[in-house]
Chains A and B, each alone.
Chain A
Amino acid sequence: MPPAGPRSGDAIFASVERVNAELFTLTYGATVRQLLTDLEEVEEVNKQLDQMGYNIGIRLIDEFLAKSNISRCVDFKETAEVIAKVGLKMFLGVNATVTNWDAEGTCCSIVLEDNPLVDFVELPDTCQGLHYCNILSGVIRGALEMVSMKTEVTWLRDMLRGDDTFELQVKLLKQVPEEYPYKDDE
């Protein structure tokens, strides 16, 4: 009996337990608000959100792999498609597309059609440097690191800053092969 093939993002989204998106959005908003109070510097908040996302990503990858039946993540192009079509759909219920590939195929953009995190949000003047959704880039970076891909994820466009869409740039720095972890004399 061959293992079942990968499942589509829609199928998983339909089958997993969900919570109201507004609850999630407002909880996230409260988190960002608290970080702004605690850290005071907008740059520090960006960093903290990214770190929180990273910690989420290194756990979330296992849930993702278990539920999506994906068995290999070697090709970066395929991986980017999977993040956009399966991952984001499954965890956030949003549709995304992958565009702007560079010539080497190591850098691309993920464009989000909508983003539930920013519902009810307006950036005040004092927070113009804030990447409100920076947790997402941390999640993607952490999750990809667990499948051997070191990446750099940056926001190129952000609707909260007046752009027309959300665009995340994902850049593959290095693929780390699996090494034998013990030394011979151990």
Chain B
Amino acid sequence: MQFFGGSEISPSPPAPTATGNNVHMMYIFNRNGVCLFYREWNRPLRTLNPQQDHKLMFGLLFSLRSFTAKMDPTSTDKGNLGVPQLPGQGCSFHSFRTNTYKLSFTETPSGIKIILVTHPRTSDLRDSLKYIYNLYVEYVVKNPLYSPGTPIRCELFNTSLDQYVRSIS
């Protein structure tokens, strides 16, 4: 029995075997912090109730965005930490990785934030996020029965998203 040491202190999860198991969950937020959409494909562990979970995730992104802009060593004009920014202002981050998951993030100038949580070994997902934004435009924004700013309940969006997410490796 071994308590400490070893090559890996906290082992990463086994690499996904088949396709379709890479993506854990996805969030879409609007600029007002409303969670428009949440879906999970592979999430064995839940520690918070959904409402707290969404709020925490939004808060994390909001702080990280402000933090990355403030820490940026290349831009001279960055304002103060915590001072509100316009969407698209300052630099932004597009992903971070822990030993058990990777979080990819995109934000459009209209304030739509799309978050994908995947296996840590997934590659750059910026194009995938862009593709999902296109799905959102086609099946949600163009759906006249959907009123902007409310949670998304569009069957066609769900099915096409499921289909696409299975192809992400």
Contact = CB atoms under 8 A, between A and B. Distances in A.
Nearest to B55: A182
* Interface class of chain B by DSSP: loop
Chain A at the B interface: mostly helix, strand, loop or mixed? loop
Interface string B82-101: 01111111000000000000
Given A3-B126, A3-B130, A66-B137, A178 B84 contact: yes
Interface string A1-33: 101000000000000000000000000000000
Q: In which size bucket is the chain B interface? A: 20 to 34
B8 interface: no
Interface stretch (B12-20, B104-112, B160-168): B104-112
Contacts of A71: 88, 108-109
Given A59-B148, A63-B141, A66-B137, A146 B84 contact: no
Contacts of B67: none
Contacts of A177: 83-86
- Choose among A61, A63, A146 the residue with the greatest number of B CB atoms under 10 Å from its CB: A146
B84 A62 contact: no
Contacts of A180: 33, 59, 62, 84
6 contacts: A71-B109, A74-B86, A147-B88, A181-B58, A182-B55, A182-B58
Interface in A172-186: 175-182, 186
A175 B86 contact: yes
Interface of B: 31-34, 55, 58-59, 62, 83-89, 108-112, 124, 126-127, 130, 133-134, 136-137, 141-142, 148
A148 interface: yes
A179 B59 CA distance: 11
A93 B87 CA distance: 28
A146 B86 contact: no
A72 B88 CA distance: 4
Contacts of B137: 62-63, 66-67
Contact of B112 (A62, A67, A148, A181): A62
A66 to B, nearest CB: 5
Contacts of B62: 180
A62 B33 contact: no
Query: Which of B33, B89, B127 has most chain A Cβ within 10 Å?
Result: B89
B35 to A, nearest CB: 11
A178 B86 contact: yes
Contacts of A66: 108, 130, 133-134, 136-137
B126 A62 contact: no
B68 to A, nearest CB: 14
Given A3-B126, A63-B141, A179 B110 contact: no
A1 B124 CA distance: 8
A182 B86 contact: no
Nearest to A175: B86
A72 B127 CA distance: 17
B143 to A, nearest CB: 10
Contact of A146 (B83, B110, B124, B133): B110
